[in-house]
A and B are shown apart, each in its own frame.
Chain A
Amino acid sequence: MNIIEIKNLSFFYRVLNNNHGSLKELFRDFLRGKLSIENYMAISNISFTVKKGQTVAIIGKNGAGKSTLLKILARVMQPTSGSIFINGSIAPMIELGAGFNTELTGRENILFYSSLIGRDINEVKPRIPKIADWAGVTDHLDYQLRTYSTGMVARLAFSVATDQVPNLLLIDEILSVGDEEFAIKSKNRMKQIHESGCTMILVSHDLDAVNEMADEVIWLDKGTIKMIGSSSEVISAYKASGN
């Protein structure tokens, strides 16, 4: 069963030729007749499918369109053209703790973050002790997040994000958080999630991690798919191209 089907997907940024940060500049250039619109193509004509339970990694240089693609998959941005079909619930793990507020307590942040990624907070409430316990912050649950160490925040974010297994998990460069102990702990949890049949899309520059986790790799270059295939194949080709 395909959980993601993408056909001829393109994404354009429409940019004015000069960078207008203000109304004044826009007005000035408009008067001088210097205004024109250019299309910047972030992704052009991409098609691929992902089967249920697969782990797919997206690699490529900076600016190749990886993050844009992930944002389109997360439904944050609408594609300019082409079709996208996703079957099931999506949980983004793009920048862990993006919704955390340092002035709120751990408990309040758990609820808010859960609600942000689309969970029913009435279901989350009874799970708070479990989430906090996994992250090792049980004693600090009612303190403000700014009193937490960086590692504690990362652990808490990871714990909330992986508390319920979605159909599709989107991951952007988050596998390298915290100390060694936590790295092992989180890797184990990722494995568990993977084994439970969750589909994962990950974007990473860490080729070793990609090799270890992914079944399939998509190599993006300048907004198009340069290569798609098994991870060892694509990674060796990617390395050979001088990246």
Chain B
Amino acid sequence: MAAVYAQAVQTLIDELGRLPGIGPKSAQRITFHLLKLPTEDAERLANAIITAKARVRFCEQCFNVSEDELCSICADPRRDQTVLCVVEEARDIIAVERTGEFRGRYHVLMGAISPIDGVGPEQLKIRELLRRLGSDTVQEIILCTNPNVEGEATAMYLARLIKPLGLTVSRIASGLPVGGDLEYADELTLGRALEGRRIVD
């Protein structure tokens, strides 16, 4: 197919199209939106990307995104040092933080075990996790991986690895959304919620 757009325009479309969740049509739309912007707005966006890329790195302890050696959570002395929540990605931390229910610290695995994607335990931050558990402050691990095949396998792998160390290991429950009607819950979620039922005190 012959090139429809000028080289620079096509390059921008191609680059945007490589981002997650952006298809060819969205990439084209965003490109033309950017081209219409005043130069300083476009520069602000470009600079934001460059600055973030230059400044942001991964926390040396938990692999959350951070501007310093330690992320704000690891550096916060008020966080509970005895509980560790293990998540697949740094963005999962934000989800858990939004609940306001968790006052411990995190550990980001940077993925889940998935042979199809070439990810085994050695590609994940599991060695680093075990090193952290070696210190005597951590007493409980909460496995907060996704409730899909790969996330469940990763949770099982970690549980088998960590339980012999004498720590408490728990897995987040999957079940019903709060505030919803039972009638509208899909069968799978309701089925899981039934499996994970609790005795009422």
Does chain A bind chain B? no
Q: Which residues of B pack against A, CB within 8 Å? A: none
Q: Which residues of A pack against B, CB within 8 Å? A: none
